[in-house]
Structure 1
């Protein structure tokens, strides 16, 4: 079993509220717009990090992290990308590949809008954790945490941090 903390859109911001939940996770996943290597280094000192770069991330971030990250953890296939859209409105860049080979868990960020939707058509769970940083139009900073045990994704929690 793995306890996962899912972040997105930190935009160079990390604080004790986020770090409290980082410490409780087995792994931290970041769905892009990280903003700075300081965020990366702070998380990596505490827990393993899997991440993708987002549209605001510079060449250093793009050297360290991919645009798309695909992997299997326990028995769950995962695809993380920053700009992915959502069921019935997936981004054109990934739409065809997603339909041909859907993962069990599809994660993206970018919108700053927290969404967890089961896509019946592709038989996958879509997650967007919203935005953990203070930059953007969102009013409440959000993150997700959940567990993966064999092929099951369970104990999903929406965590609302302080208002931006």
Structure 2
């Protein structure tokens, strides 16, 4: 199973269309996970044309997105448990706020966004993963998103980096 993980698309403000590097992966996706800051519901509608869509809301999302998606979700694909949250809020770091959302759940994988900074590290048995942003890299060298691959008894997640959103 191929799952594309995105966050902080901020569309259409930061891009009018999906970057070609991202779209090529979306075309082969079995599912898509969005960790918030879509900006408009139209982006969710467009992503849902590629594959089943799971997502959470972020701090810049319009009201229709908040009606459609939760702030925090838990997903299960086979034996893999996934927590998803945007990670916005006050105090602490983005990572700490995300971990606090799931402190009693201990998912295998915790996906979050907000900072636009790609992260992949293991903390107390949970892989923390921020895909970065495919449209708003801010001070990062490259744009990015995540590619989660799940087979019967194992899984892996990696960043996909690219230089141009056009």
- TM-score bucket (shorter structure): 0.7 to 0.9
TM score, norm. by length of structure 2: 0.84
How far, CA to CA, are the matches of 1:38 and 1:138 in structure 2? 26
Deviation at 1:148, TM superposition (A): 1.6
Does the residue aligned with 2:163 lie in a helix, a strand or coil? Answer: strand
TM score, norm. by length of structure 1: 0.85
Contact 1:27–1:47 (CA under 8 A) maintained in structure 2? yes
Q: In terms of mean alpha carbon deviation, does 131-140 or 105-114 score higher?
A: 131-140
Residue matched to 1:77: 81
Count of matched residue positions in the alignment of Structure 1 and Structure 2: 155
- What is the correspondence of 1:145-160 to structure 2 with a 5 Å cutoff? 145-154=147-156, 156-160=157-161
- What is the correspondence of 1:45-84 to structure 2 with a 5 Å cutoff? 45-83=49-87
User: Unpaired runs of 5+ in structure 1?
Assistant: none
Q: In terms of mean alpha carbon deviation, does 53-62 or 76-85 score higher?
A: 76-85
How far, CA to CA, are the matches of 1:94 and 1:60 in structure 2? 26
Compute the RMSD of aligned alpha carbons. Answer: 2.0
Contact 1:76–1:150 (CA under 8 A) maintained in structure 2? no
Name the structure where strand makes up a greater proportion of residues: 1
User: Unpaired runs of 5+ in structure 2?
Assistant: 89-93
How far, CA to CA, are the matches of 1:4 and 1:151 in structure 2? 16
Residue matched to 2:22: 18
CA deviation map 1:81-117 (0-9, x unaligned): 001732xxx11x862x523221111110000000000
Does the residue aligned with 1:134 lie in a helix, a strand or coil? Answer: coil
How far, CA to CA, are the matches of 1:110 and 1:151 in structure 2? 31
How far, CA to CA, are the matches of 2:153 and 2:65 in structure 1? 31
Deviation at 1:139, TM superposition (A): 4.4
Contact 1:139–1:163 (CA under 8 A) maintained in structure 2? no
Deviation at 1:17, TM superposition (A): 2.8
Residue matched to 1:161: 162
